[in-house]
Amino acid sequence: MATSVYEEDYINLVDGSEVRLTPLKIKYLRRFMKTFSLMKYAKNDNQAITVLSNCAFIALSSQYSGVKTQDEFDDNLDMPAVYKILDVCAGIKIQGDSEETIKEQAEESKSNTWDDLDLAKLESEIFLVGIWKDYEELESSLSMPELLATISSKRELDYDEKKFLAAIQGVDIDSKSGKGSQNEWEQMKARVFSQGKTEDSNDITSFQGAKARKMGFGVGMGLDFEDLT
């Protein structure tokens, strides 16, 4: 049974401080991805690492006030810590010992999930819950895993209510509704959780993070896979 919506982790700075890492709130994820877009201009690994370091600083500074400048960040963290920040906070997976270049790994990890995501539509839907005064407050409150989990629960509750009201009138909407938009939603979630590698909600690569915890198994929870593509 799932006990959390997202994974968290910790890193240790050079000065001995321990910092808790969680997925970025959407407000900071926007800044992160804007800086990450500069990766397309990187001509070598050194330039790619600079971009990733700038992204990681944005992520860390949103969650820890002890590092205030990029120079302080560079002095306090080694590259494994930078890679962990990128992974936990934004789902960008980099392996220092990979045969692929840093730029190739970064662009492959990002895939098309962020560019293809209709974030405005998702935020508009969840805004109807009515607990945020504006969209800025919403984006400051929720990370992507939290947003998706909340929307998923809201849709399930809405559907259960419609199903109940229909049943009172003797209508079985399960047999009449088909797959339609529900299928599109599952495909979108599969793209996010698999980082753009699949739209099939039953594909092994989609059983990660929050979905894996909800299902009770998945990648990183006793299940692994080899990507042969």
DSSP secondary structure of 85-145: HHHHHH-----TT-SS-HHHHHHHHHTTHHHH--HHHHHHHHHTT---SSHHHHHHH-BHH
Do 71 and 145 belong to one domain? Answer: no
Do 124 and 103 belong to one domain? Answer: no
Do 180 and 194 belong to one domain? Answer: yes
Closest CA to 82 of 57, 62, 47, 107: 57
Q: Which helix (H) or strand (E) holds 160?
A: helix 144-168
Judge whether 229 lies within some domain: no
Do 23 and 101 belong to one domain? Answer: yes
Do 94 and 168 belong to one domain? Answer: no
Count structural domains, the chain. Answer: 2
Judge whether 208 lies within some domain: yes
Do 130 and 208 belong to one domain? Answer: yes
Judge whether 1 lies within some domain: no
Percent of the chain with pLDDT over 90: 36
Do 81 and 101 belong to one domain? Answer: yes
Judge whether 2 lies within some domain: no
Six-digit token string for 29: 């994820």
Quote the pLDDT of residue 48: 92
Judge whether 214 lies within some domain: yes
* Distance from C-alpha of 19 to C-alpha of 64, rounded to nearest angstrom: 7
Do 77 and 155 belong to one domain? Answer: no
The band of 176, judged by pLDDT with boundaries at 50, 70 and 90, is low
Do 163 and 195 belong to one domain? Answer: yes
Does the pLDDT at position 19 exceed 90?
A: yes
> 0.85 exceeded by the pTM?
no
Domain boundary among the residues 53, 84, 110 is at 110
The chain-wide mean pLDDT, for the chain, equals 80
Judge whether 78 lies within some domain: yes
Mean pLDDT confidence for 90-101: 87
Judge whether 228 lies within some domain: no
The band of 25, judged by pLDDT with boundaries at 50, 70 and 90, is very high
Structural domain of residue 44, as residue ranges?
9-110
Find tokens 């050194």 and name the residue: 46
Quote the pLDDT of residue 180: 46
Domain boundary among the residues 110, 138, 154 is at 110
* 30-75 confidence digits (pLDDT tens): 999 999 989 989 999 899 999 999 999 999 999 998 899 999 999 9
> Percentage helix, strand, coil, to 5, in the chain?
60, 5, 35
The band of 152, judged by pLDDT with boundaries at 50, 70 and 90, is confident
Q: Which residues pair with 143 in a beta bridge?
A: 25
Do 139 and 207 belong to one domain? Answer: yes
Does the pLDDT at position 125 exceed 80?
A: yes
Does the pLDDT at position 16 exceed 90?
A: no
* Distance from C-alpha of 223 to C-alpha of 226, rounded to nearest angstrom: 11
The band of 229, judged by pLDDT with boundaries at 50, 70 and 90, is low
Is residue 7 within 8 A of residue 209, CB to CB? The reply is yes
Quote the pLDDT of residue 227: 55
Do 137 and 78 belong to one domain? Answer: no
Do 96 and 122 belong to one domain? Answer: no
* Distance from C-alpha of 163 to C-alpha of 160, rounded to nearest angstrom: 5
Judge whether 76 lies within some domain: yes
